[in-house]
Structure formats: C-alpha cells, structure tokens
Amino acid sequence: MSLRTAGIAGALAVAALVAAASMQSCAYFNTLYNARRVYREAEKVGVSETAAREQREKYKEVVKKCAQMMQDYPKSRWIDDAMFLMGTALVRQEEYDKAIRKFQEILTNFPRSKYVPRSIYWLALAYHLKKDEAQALVYADRFLKEYPGHELRFDALFLGGDIKRALEDYEGALDYYGIVATEAKKKEIVDESRLKSAELFRGRGEWEKAAASYRKVLRKGIPWERRYEISLALGECLVKTGECVEALALFDGLLAKATATLEMPPLLLGRSASYACMDSLPRALVEYRDVGTKYPKSIYSAEAHYRIGIIYQERLDSLKLAADAFAKVGNEYANSEFAAVSLERSSSIKRLLDLQKSAGKGESAEQAAEKRFMAAEIQLTRLEDIPMALSGYTAILDSFPETSVAPKAAYAIAWIRQIRLREKEAAIERYRALIERYPRSFQAKGALYQLGLAGADSLRAYLQAYRDSALADTTVVPKPAPAASAAPDTTSSGAAKPGALMIPKAALAAPVSPDTSRGEANPEILHAPADTTGRTRK
C-alpha cells in the first residue's frame, strides 16, 4: 500500500471516529434536550385533576429519560445536567429521599459544577417539603452564606422564612422576609415579601400588623385577581380590629367590581361580618341568611349558618336559636371546616338547655351544685364562653359553698384567670382564697403547685403550712374565709377580699414569675374540666 493510500485510509478512519463520537454526543444531548422539554411542559400544566395526572406522567418521563442517559453515557459532560434535572423532577413527584440523593451526588462528584449552588437550594427545598425543617435550614443558610449574589438569593430567603415559620420561629421568619423587602429592587418581589409577612401576622392573629402589610401591597395597576384576594384578607383584618365602616366600604367596593359568580359569596360573607362588627346584628342576620338562600348546600351557606349561630349564642344570648343554626351547618355542607365545631356546639347547647330545664325543687344542694358545675363546664370547654363560665362557677361558691363541687369551682375560676385570661395577680389571689377556704381539698394541693409555678414562693410556703395544719387537725374543720367569693367573679381583677386567715405582707409581696403557661402541663392537679358526660377530661 502506498503512503498516499495509507494516509487516505487513516484520514477516513479518523473521520469515522469523529462522526461516531459526534453521533453519540448528539444522541445523549438530544435525550437531555427532550427531558428538559418534557419538564418545561410539566411545569406549565394546569391544576385540574386530569392535568395533575398528566403532570405526574411527564415528571416520570423526565426521570426515566435522565436515568437512561446516565446509564448509557456515564462519561458524558452533561451528566450533572441530567442528574440535577432528575432531582428536580423527583421533588415534583414528592420522591424527596431519592431527590436528596441526586443533589448530594452532585455536591460530592461534581464540586465544580454550575449546578452546585442550585443543588444546595433544592436540598433545602426538598428537606422543607419532607418536613425535616432543621436540615432544610442548614442548606438554606449554607446557600445564602456561600452564594450571596446568586440569582436564587431571594427564593432562598423566602424559603428560609417559610422554614422558620414551620419551626414556629416567627420573628426569624419575619427577618428573612424583611431582608427581601430591603434588598429587592423589583416591586413584585417586595410585594411578595410583604404578603408573606402579612400572612404570618394574620395566622398569629396580629390583625393590625397584617392589615398594615396588606395595605402596602394594594396599589394601582395590580391585576384584579390579586387585588381581590388581598382585599378579602384585608377586609377580614379590618373586621377583627373593629374598623367596621372601612371594612364594609371595602367589601361593597369589591362587590361593585366583581363579575365572576364565585367571587360574590366571600364578599357577601365579608359584608355580613362588617355589619356584625358594627353591632348591626339584625342586618347581619339578614345578610347571612341571604347568603344561605342564594348559595344553598355550599361552603358559603355552611359558614353563614355557623356565623348566625355565633351571633345568637354570643351576642343575643338565644341558645335555642343558636343550636338550631349550628345544627344546619353539617346539612348544608358536611365537609365544611365549620361542620365539626358546629355539631359540637349544637349538642353542647342542647345539653346545657336540658340541664337548665331539669333544675327544680326537690333537689339537694349537692345535686343543684353538680348541675350548675356541669353547665359552667360546657360554657368553658365546649362553647368557649368564658364570662358565662365564670358566672356559673361563682354562683356555686355563692349559693353552694359547702358542697363537694365548690372547691372545683374555686379552682376553675383561678385556672381561667391564670391560663385563659393571663391575669396572674388575680389568679394568685384566687388560689390563695381557695387554699384559705378549702385547705383539705385536693384542689388546694393543686393551688399550691400553681403558686409555685407563678413564683409566689413566700405565699406558697405560708399557705402550705396552713394546709398542713388543717390536715393534721382532725377535730376542728378550719372555718372558710366567707368573703373569698362575696361577689360574682366577672371583673378583670378577680381579687377576693381577705378572709379569716391573715396573710403576712411579706407573703403577699412575693415575686411573680412572668411564666404561667406551664400550669397547663400538669392536668392531674389543674382544673381538668369535665366533659358533658361528667367524666374528667385528661
């Protein structure tokens, strides 16, 4: 073979190898390209049930294509591309552990890949979606520390805030959202941070702060759909803060502009709430009934009947009408968020009415006290009517002070002051009065425990000695302090007048710890209200 012939043959061989390599390169690039195309299609799929199934299938196809490419072309320079795409598709499929492994493989095997920062972000997201918030926060903070100028910075800050919120570190969450509001240049991103903060405030019941954040977002030019949702939330906040006239004007303004059928009922419910806020209760009842008539058998009619029941129970003291309204909620829409609580309220009110009807002549003091105590328990534990519960417990101390139920009622009053109303000094005085009046009772032991939690150590020591003396004296029953419950306990102070037992001033001046919430951790010696069947609630 001549040199010329050999050269030609060699050139042809090289050309063939280049062509083969090129074809191989095109093959795995096309596989990756198609996987990316399917992923983009999946991201654009709508929210219907059919669309959701289509979306799941597309993500499965992405994972399959990426896995095939990684298997067929393990030396490809696009292997990290395929691995990252596969990880994101697995997150979308809620296969979080598998996704986490893929992102971690990128960090380990491709430390210089352009996908390293994105993989760290997606690790934080995957752990967050998996509910492993501690690990999610590790990766979110790592991303923010190592890549402060990355294009995903604001996404990572939002994610960090969401993680903190899931950890119930609300101030930490607000810090993350606040950084976005400070650093972002685009109005849309700033608005998103304010909305995040508003939602957090709203979820915590900090209505004024939530309203302030919502107001900052509402401006000219935002799309109607966005304005509608934000305004609905703002209207709720205004009702909660007592800005009733402004709330009514807001809902009426939205009603004038709303065109879609589904936009109307939430606005009508908001307008009804505004009238209730203004104490225009007859008008509020008419508005709620109108919602029930216009949108029967819906979540809206269910809520309307629930709100009617609340007005009758809490504002008009018409328990029969309240029970009737609550009973309709489940029939309107069984899956309503108000159905279960309405059923419980309806049955509790009926039980309360039965107790009131059964009270009559011929009862012993013990029986009458038991019925009043059960009625007060229903008011407290089932109907959340604290003023009525306090009134009921106090009536027992006034009318039936020598019954076995009386120490329980005295403890209930102190417990409400301490746990529900956060009135520490009033609670301490009520516990003092209980020990002074019923030193041998089991509730006196619980009261001593609560005084210790409240930091009233000197008072507790003195009353402990008093109780020990009473328990040791088997011949004389300590005379109760007659003025400990001289008047119904419906005031904010709840303080009882000093009785027969004289407490040293040093004991009354005992230091008080700011933490009374721990009292709920010991139900055996707390009030432990009974349920409507008479069993002690643990």
Q: Are 116 and 106 in contact (CB under 8 A)?
A: yes
pLDDT for the residue 237? 97
**Nearest to 165, CA basis, from 192, 201, 215, 135:** 201
What SS3 state is found at 514?
coil
- Rg, Å, the chain Cα set: 34
Q: Count CB atoms within 10 A of the CB of residue 72.
A: 12
E-only strand ranges, 242-388: none
Tokens standing for 372?
Answer: 């009043």
Long-range contacts of 174-180, Cβ-Cβ distance < 8 Å, separation of 24 or more = 174/200, 180/154
Q: What's the predicted TM-score (pTM) here?
A: 0.68
Task: Give the up-direction half-sphere exposure of residue 505: CA atoms within 13 A in the CB hemisphere.
Answer: 0
Q: Are 122 and 139 in contact (CB under 8 A)?
A: no
Tokens standing for 255?
Answer: 């009603």
Backbone angles phi, psi at 56, to 5 degrees: -60, -40
Identity (one letter) of the amino acid at 12?
A: L
Tokens standing for 475?
Answer: 């011949």
Q: What is the 3-state secondary structure of 331-368?
A: HHCCCCCCHHHHHHHHHHHHHHHHHHHHCCCCCCHHHH
Q: What is the spatial distance between Cα 247 and Cα 114, in angstroms, rounded to a whole number?
A: 51
Per-residue pLDDT tens, the chain, 538 aa: give them.
443 333 333 333 333 333 333 444 444 445 555 555 655 665 665 545 666 778 788 888 888 888 888 887 777 788 898 899 899 999 999 999 999 999 999 999 999 999 999 999 999 999 999 999 999 999 999 999 999 999 999 999 999 999 999 999 999 999 999 999 999 999 999 999 999 999 999 999 999 999 999 999 988 788 999 999 999 999 999 999 999 999 999 999 999 999 888 899 999 999 999 999 999 999 999 999 999 999 999 999 999 999 999 999 999 989 999 999 999 999 999 999 999 999 999 999 999 998 888 877 678 999 999 999 999 999 998 888 999 999 999 999 999 999 999 999 999 999 999 999 999 999 999 999 999 999 999 999 999 999 999 999 999 999 999 999 999 876 555 444 443 333 334 333 233 333 333 333 333 333 333 333 333 333 333 444 443 333 333 3
Residues 61, 63, 65, 66, Cα dihedral to 10°: 160
Tokens standing for 417?
Answer: 């002051």
Q: What is the spatial distance between Cα 330 and Cα 347, in angstroms, rounded to a whole number?
A: 13
C-alpha 182, offset from chain centre: 27
Tokens standing for 483?
Answer: 């003025």
